[in-house]
Every structure is written in structure tokens, then in C-alpha cells.
Structure 1
Amino acid sequence: MSAPPILRDVFRALRDEWGEERDGITFDQGPPPLERLDVMLYDAAGQGATTTFATIGMSAHAMPPRAENADGGRAELRLFRRGPLAPGDEQQLAMRLANLAAYPWTRGEPLGWGEIVSFTDEIPTFPGCHSVFLAGPWTIGQPAVIETGTAPVRILNAVPITAPERQQALTTRPETFFSNLLDTRDVCAPTP
């Protein structure tokens, strides 16, 4: 079965932004309606390079709405990890991102910028981080939305955070929290 047009548009947008992916990991048989999800891996060149993990498949369906008669919107996830990664670590991070992509359908609510999702265990390769903060773009040129022929697809950047950072995020406006976090540490690197 061929991919829906919206997913082809997302794939082309990723290729336009980062070029050809280095690898891709496919997760089949997710919670309905999420039948398949791909996590693509892109490597940045140069000093301080990051590996970018990007989902393709979440936007095939609108997320469940928060309120009756509302639209949950469509989204895809990204996660940036600075420094070298072993193949097993890449697999673990891709799996965590795929599980996060299923969240709207397993919990019955959409994901959006400024939200926090917590896990029972640490996020692989991010010691001390049991939660992610979902951020919009934070650098010049970083896209907020992928325009497709079907519907706009919001980009949610999953930023691993520690327990103290989570507490701060719960009591601070999302924009203020994330701005302070960016001033405090490299959000793409493992926490010190």
C-alpha cells in the first residue's frame, strides 16, 4: 500500500531540509489509527554535530481533539541529540520517539507546543531526564509547520528535561521556561 499524500509531502519536506536520511527505523502495528511510523535519522556535519530523529506517519491522521467539535491537528516529532551514538542507542531513542508519537491515540488527547510528557524511565542517552518538553522552533530558519497538500503539520521538538526542570516548567509560562532553558544548557546534549 502506498503512503498517503500527506506523508509523501512530509518526506519531501525533510529531504528538502536535511537531504537524504542516513537511516530509517520502521515501527508497524501501532495503536489505531497509527498503523505504521517511520523514524528517520539525519546527521549534521561539522563540529558539535547532532543526529536528528524525525517521525513520519503521525500526521497521517488528525490527533484526537481536546474539546468536542474541535480539531486535534496534525503533527510530527523531532528530537536532536548532540554527540556520537551507538546503533543500539539510536534504536532506543527512535523507539521512545515512536512511543511518544502514539501518545495522542493511547491517551485520547493531542500534543502541542509547551506540553510536558513524562515517562517512568529515563530517556535513552539523556541521563536524569524522565520527561520531554515539546517545543516549537528555537533557531532562525527552523520550521514550525510543514505545509502539505492535505493539512498543515506542526513540528513538535521533543526536548528531554530533568525532574527539577519539569517542576520549573509546570510553574512557568512555556515560552519563559524554554527561553531560560536555552540560556542555561545545550538542549541537544546529554544533561551534565
Structure 2
Amino acid sequence: MPAPAVLRDVFQALRKEWGEEDEGYTFENGPPPVDRLDVMVHRAQEHTATTAFATIGMAAHPMPAPGGPAVDGPASVPTPEERAELRLFRRGPLPPADEGRLATRLANLAAYPWTRGHPLGWGELVGFDDELPAFPGCRTLFLAGPWLTGQPATVETGVGPVRVLNAVPVSDEERQRARETRPETFFSDLLDTRDILAPPPVTRP
């Protein structure tokens, strides 16, 4: 079955922005209506560069309207009929196993609006039972909008804009701070505190 036109638009926009991907992971037979999702990977060639992940497939359908189980923390609530895709960044090259596990985690998160009946938006926190691959000490993702000049907030498609949700891993301590303050303030402070593309420093007792 050919990909929906909106996904072709998302794919072409990603190619234009990042160039050709180094790897792609395909996940099929997901929870309805997301029966297929791809995660594109652009690998860092040196330790100061960034390995980038992007989903393609989440935007095939609008996210469910608010009203399902609430996620952890305040957020910018998506508007009705909003579509989204996820991105995640990690400083430096990654071992193949970590790359694959991160792609899987991102694909599972992309299905979240339909498995939980709640859309995802900027400023939200999504927690996991275990640490995120390649991000020791992080069991939570903060969903952010663009923070650098040139980063897109949305991708324009034939059915309207698709919001870009940047998944930023945070530690338990950072998660607690995020729950106690406005999302914009928390993320601004986080950017001033550390490199958000790398795991947070280990806190020694």
C-alpha cells in the first residue's frame, strides 16, 4: 500500500532539511491506526556531532482529541485534528544496539496518543519504567519545540502543518523541577545548565 501523501510530504521535507538518512528502522503492525512507522537515523561522524532520529508515520492520522489519561505535567495542548512527528538527538556516534533501541523507544512513543487516548504537545513529560537507551539516568522525555535558529516548529504538508516534537531525555531530578515550574522556564534553564544532546552529569551523593 502506498504511503499517505502527508507522509511523503514529511519524508521529502526531512530529506531536504537533513539530507539522505544513514539508516531506517521500520515498525509494522502497530496499534491502530498506526499500522506502520519508520524511524530515520542520521549518524554523527565524530564525537562533537549529533546522531539524529526522526519518526515518519505518526502524522498519517490526527492525534486523538484531549480527554484521555493525562500525561505528567503541564503542556501546550494540541488543537483538534493536529498531527505530529517526533525527533530525538544524541551527541556523538552510537553503538548499533543503542541506535536500534532508541529507534524502538521513539516508535513506541509515537503510538502513545492512540494507546493512551491523549495527544502529545510541547512541554509535556512522558515517563518510562526503565532508563532510555544511551541516556543513563534518564527515564523521562520532555517534549520541546525548536530551540535553535533554523529548527522547524512544524512541517508543511498538503493537509496542513505537522508539529515537530523534540524528545529531550531528562533525569529524575530534572523531571521533578519540570513538574514544579512552567515548561518554558524549565526548558530555558535546562538549556543554560547542560548540553541537552548528551546524558546529564551523574549527581554524586
CA distance in 2: counterparts of 1:95 and 1:46, whole angstroms:
23
Alpha-carbon deviation of 1:62?
A: 0.3
Letter aligned with residue 139 of structure 2: H
The runs of 5 or more residues in structure 2 that have no matched partner are: 69-78
CA distance in 2: counterparts of 1:144 and 1:96, whole angstroms:
22
* Identical-pair percentage: 68
TM-score between both structures, scaled by the size of structure 1: 0.96
Per-residue CA deviations over 1:111-169 (Å, capped at 9, x if unaligned) read 00000000000000100100000000000000000000112100000000001100100
Equivalent residue for 1:32? Answer: 32
Q: In structure 1, which of residues 158, 162, 165 is the aligned counterpart of residue 167 of structure 2?
A: 158
Letter aligned with residue 143 of structure 1: P
Aligned pairs (5 A) from 1:88-99: 88-99=97-108
Assess if the C-alpha contact under 8 Å between 2:153 and 2:164 holds in 1.
yes
CA distance in 1: counterparts of 2:141 and 2:150, whole angstroms:
22
CA distance in 1: counterparts of 2:67 and 2:139, whole angstroms:
28
Matched positions, count: 191
Letter aligned with residue 127 of structure 1: P
Paired residue secondary structure (1:131): strand
Assess if the C-alpha contact under 8 Å between 2:47 and 2:92 holds in 1.
no
Assess if the C-alpha contact under 8 Å between 1:144 and 1:155 holds in 2.
yes
Assess if the C-alpha contact under 8 Å between 1:27 and 1:36 holds in 2.
yes
Alpha-carbon deviation of 1:191?
A: 2.0
Aligned pairs (5 A) from 1:110-189: 110-189=119-198
Letter aligned with residue 43 of structure 1: R
CA distance in 1: counterparts of 2:153 and 2:104, whole angstroms:
23
The runs of 5 or more residues in structure 1 that have no matched partner are: none
Per-residue CA deviations over 1:32-70 (Å, capped at 9, x if unaligned) read 0000000000135666101100000000000001159x6
Assess if the C-alpha contact under 8 Å between 1:72 and 1:110 holds in 2.
no
Equivalent residue for 1:18? Answer: 18
Assess if the C-alpha contact under 8 Å between 2:177 and 2:186 holds in 1.
yes
Assess if the C-alpha contact under 8 Å between 2:28 and 2:37 holds in 1.
yes
Paired residue secondary structure (2:55): strand
TM-score between both structures, scaled by the size of structure 2: 0.90
Paired residue secondary structure (1:152): strand
Assess if the C-alpha contact under 8 Å between 1:66 and 1:72 holds in 2.
no
Paired residue secondary structure (2:157): coil
Which stretches of structure 1, 4 residues or longer, exceed 6 Å deviation after superposition?
Answer: none
Assess if the C-alpha contact under 8 Å between 2:44 and 2:92 holds in 1.
no
Report the CA distance shift for 1:47/1:122 in structure 2 as closer, same or farther (over 3 A). closer
Letter aligned with residue 57 of structure 1: G
Over aligned residue pairs, what C-alpha RMSD do you find? 1.4
